[in-house]
Amino acid sequence: MLTERDMTIAEWIGRQGAVRAEHVMTRFSIGRTATYRRLHELVDFGLIRRHRLLYNDGGLLTATAEGLRCAGLDRLAPARISLALVPHMIASAALAAQVEPRLDEQTLLSDREHRAAENAAGEPIASAIIGRQGDGREGLHRPDFALVSREGQHVTAVELELTLKNRTRLERILRGYLRNQNVSIVRYHAAPPIADAVQRAARAVGADAILELAPLPAARTSTIRRRS
């Protein structure tokens, strides 16, 4: 029988899109055995799905359509796994798992939640405004996360930068964040060489005052074992 805790885990997986077992362990401060048991139960009930990427690898976990419905996340679609995006998916889940437990007066919206919120609002929340589309709508670059205060008065765009963008693209994105008056801070999580490039681009466009640099989330490894 599923517990309230199990449903909270299913909801978190649905919000993030794709996670690994160790991310659940970190986010909810529960041990390995309890994590495996809860995830196996959620798989058995059809609320989450396990995607095996490599032999003997724990792979990724996503919420099914039924899991999203049960978690009240009907506005979100089941996440699609793209091998090219797996490293970014894993890093994003690791960041959310580490950051969320420390939050008090703020809410961390995943890219999926942020997109849905902006679509519902009909205007940018934490996205960089980078021009106009052919239909006249604003062209947007969405960050990996939006960190929003409870009152909605302070918005931080959170970028997880694993690969180096060229300087022109970085400058265009940072100018776009300056155009969005909702955004008070742009936080880039990046390795030192990439962080240096971001800082240079921020200086070039006058975005120094809103830029914060932070390290990448710490990596952990784990697997989900099959029950015999």
CATH of the domain at 48: 1.10.10.10
Distance between CA atoms of 225 and 228, rounded to whole angstroms?
9
Mean per-residue pLDDT over the chain, rounded:
91
The model's pLDDT over 2-14, given as tens digits with 9 standing for 90+, comes to 999 999 999 999 9
What is the DSSP secondary structure assignment for residue 19, as one 8-state letter?
Answer: B
**56 lies in the same domain as 141:** no
User: Structurally, how many domains does the chain consist of?
Assistant: 2
**132 lies in the same domain as 208:** yes
Distance between CA atoms of 37 and 129, rounded to whole angstroms?
44
| CB neighbour list of residue 212: distance below 8 Å, 6 or more residues apart | 156, 185, 186, 187, 188
**16 lies in the same domain as 75:** yes
Q: Report whether 120 contacts 76 (CB < 8 A).
A: no
User: What's the pTM?
Assistant: 0.90
pLDDT in the model for residue 66: 98
pLDDT in the model for residue 223: 36
**33 lies in the same domain as 113:** no
| CB-based burial, 108-123: b 16+ in 10 Å, e otherwise | bbbbbbbbbebeeeee
- Domain assignment present for 227: no
**66 lies in the same domain as 117:** no
Q: Report whether 127 contacts 141 (CB < 8 A).
A: yes
pLDDT in the model for residue 151: 79
pLDDT in the model for residue 81: 92
The model's pLDDT over 211-228, given as tens digits with 9 standing for 90+, comes to 999 999 986 544 333 332
**77 lies in the same domain as 136:** no
**24 lies in the same domain as 122:** no
Domain that holds residue 30: 4-81
**136 lies in the same domain as 202:** yes
- Domain assignment present for 115: yes
**207 lies in the same domain as 129:** yes
- Domain assignment present for 224: no
| CB neighbour list of residue 24: distance below 8 Å, 6 or more residues apart | 9, 12, 13, 30, 35, 38, 39, 61, 97
Distance between CA atoms of 163 and 26, rounded to whole angstroms?
25
Q: Which residues of the chain have pLDDT under 70?
A: 54-58, 133-137, 219-228
**153 lies in the same domain as 76:** no
